[in-house]
A = this chain, B = another copy of it.
Amino acid sequence: MSRTDRFFGVLSPVVTPFTRDLAPDTDRFIRHCEWLVSQNCGLAFFGTNSEANSLSLAEKTELLEALVDAGVDTARMMPGTGACAIPDTVALTKLAVARGCAGVLMLPPFYYKGVSDDGLYRYFAEVIERVGDAKLRIYLYHIPPVAQVGITLDLIERLIAAYPETVVGIKDSSGDWSNTAAMLDRGWPDFAVFSGNEKTLLDNLKGGGAGCISATANINPGAIAKLCEVWQTPEAEAMQADLLDLRLAVEKFPVIPSLKEVVAHYADDPEWARVRPPLDPLTGDQRAGLLAELRRRDFAMPGLVREPA
C-alpha cells in the first residue's frame, strides 16, 4: 500500500464512557478521542474494546455525529460498523462514509456459527452494493476468539478481486502470528494488514504491514505510535520489548474494564470506570493490582486532560 494515502500506524479501539445511568457519555468520549489524536493515534471507535455491540444503532449514530461535529479529524476515523443484520451494518457504514470517515472496520455477522465463505461473501457484497459509494473503504475485522466467525484468506482474496478499491485492509485479532504472516505473504497490493495488538507490531511492520489496532492504545498510544515511526532504527527492538512488557501487565486483568480504570485513575475521574453489562467492572483487588503494575513501570498518560474536581 501507499502509506501516505491510507491509514498507517496505530489506531485505538476507543473505550466508551458511560454516565451514571449507563448512557454513552458523549463529552468524555470526544475528549478521549481528541487526546488520542494528539498522541498521533487513529480512532477505531466502535470496536470490541468500545463495547460497541453493547450499544444500539441509535447510540452509535449519535456518538459518531457528535465526534465529527466536534471537529475531530475524520481522516483518522475508522469506526466499527459490522453487525449481525445487514440493514444495521449498511446504516452505520453509510453514515460513516457520508460524514467523511476515512474507513470502516467491519466485523462479519457473528450470531450463526459455522457459516460458509459463500455466505460471508454474499453478506459483505450485499453491504457494499447497498452502501453504493465509491468513497467506501472497508477494513475487515478478523477476531475469531470473540466473534467465533472468522475471515479466511480465501474469502479476503475473493472480496479483493471483486471490490479492489473498497476492501483495502484487515485487522487480524486472531492472536495467531502465523495467520498475520500468511496474509503478508500473499502480498496483496495496497492491502493494509493491521495486527490486533502491539505484541507483534514490529514483526508486522517488517513484513510490510500497516501497524496495529490495539486495546492498549487507549492508554499507551504515544509509545506505540513512536515505534511505528522509527521501526527501521536500532532503537526499535527495545521499544517493542517495552510495549510488550506493558501489554502483558495489562493482560493480567480483564482488558476492557482495566483500560477504563486506567483512564479513570490518570484523569482523576472515577466516572470513566463504568462498563455495561454483561461486562464486569474490576474488583478492588484487581484495580489495585493493575495500578501497582503500572506504577512499577513509571507509566504515565502525558497530556491527558484531568477532569475538573
Q: Which A residues fall within an 8 A CB radius of B?
A: 22, 48, 53-59, 84-88, 91, 108-113, 115-116, 118-120, 122-123, 126, 145-149, 276-280
Give the residue name and chain of the B residue nearest to A113 (CB): B146
The answer to whether A280 touches B86, judged by C-beta atoms less than 8 angstroms apart, is no
CB-contact partner of A279 in B108, B112, B276, under 8 A: B112
Question: Which 5 pairs, one residue from A and one from B, show the smallest C-beta to C-beta distance?
Answer: A119-B278, A123-B277, A53-B111, A122-B277, A56-B87
A-B contact pairs, 26 of them (CB 8 A): A22-B126, A53-B85, A53-B109, A53-B112, A54-B84, A54-B86, A54-B111, A55-B85, A55-B87, A56-B57, A56-B85, A57-B88, A86-B276, A108-B278, A110-B111, A111-B147, A112-B279, A113-B145, A116-B278, A118-B280, A119-B278, A119-B280, A120-B278, A123-B277, A123-B278, A148-B148
Question: In the complex, how many angstroms separate the beta carbon of A250 from the nearest chain B beta carbon?
Answer: 17
The answer to whether A278 touches B109, judged by C-beta atoms less than 8 angstroms apart, is yes
Chain B residues with Cβ below 8 Å from A145 are: 113
A279 and B115 CA atoms in complex are apart in Å by 7
